[in-house]
Amino acid sequence: MTTTPPVRQIRDISGLLDHASHVLATRMAAAFTALGITPRAYCVLFHAQEAERTQIQLAELADLDKTTMVVTVDELEKAGLAERRPSATDRRARIISVTEAGERAVVRGTAIADQVHRELLESLPQPEQQAFVSALTRLVDGHLAEPVESERTVRRARRARG
């Protein structure tokens, strides 16, 4: 027996967003190759430079699990871009401090990230650019702000915030 599959009434937004996110992440990773760090490492440096933050705080801001965060900070230390230091306010806590070389990497990384995003926006007609950013921001700040509970674990890619 042959049946006709149902016809979708609404475009597969999940598929569109997944594909767009993946391709944008690959473009960002390729662009950051020139700097010698990953977009994830840049994100950690960016947020560490903003304020005195612990590794746990930075992991939350960069949307990284504990193990990935440790590996990332180890890589940043090895590259001379960041170092773990005692907190000025809590001697038990360790903060991630950005070195002068790390500060230069943040400046260059910000220019790289801005360029990748600029190219993305410029691929849209001018009138759609602001509407796209506005609509996506409204979704992420509203309806898609928090994941919902599910019996099945949903794997997801890290969401860049920096």
The CATH number assigned to the domain holding 18 equals 1.10.10.10
Show the domain range for 116.
14-141
With residues binned 3-state (H G I as helix, E B as strand, rest as coil), the percentages for the chain, rounded to 5, are 60, 5, 35
Residue 118 lies in a domain: yes
For position 89, what pLDDT does the model report? 83
Residue 107 lies in a domain: yes
pLDDT at 161: 45
Domain membership of residue 7 (yes or no) is no
Q: What is the pLDDT of residue 153?
A: 75
In a domain, 2, yes or no: no
Give the residue among 40, 46, 45 at the shortest CA–CA distance from 67: 40
102: pLDDT strictly greater than 50: yes
Please determine, for residue 151, whether its predicted confidence score (pLDDT) is greater than 90. no
**Which CA distances in Å does 83 have to 14, 45, 64, 77?**
39, 10, 18, 5
**Averaged pLDDT, 49-58:** 93
Question: Which three-class secondary structure state does DSSP give residue 14?
Answer: helix
Query: Per-residue pLDDT averaged across 44-60, rounded?
Result: 94
Number of structural domains found in the chain: 1
Per-residue model confidence (pLDDT) at position 58: 95
> What pLDDT score does 162 carry?
46
At 156, is the pLDDT very low, low, confident or very high (cuts 50, 70, 90)? low
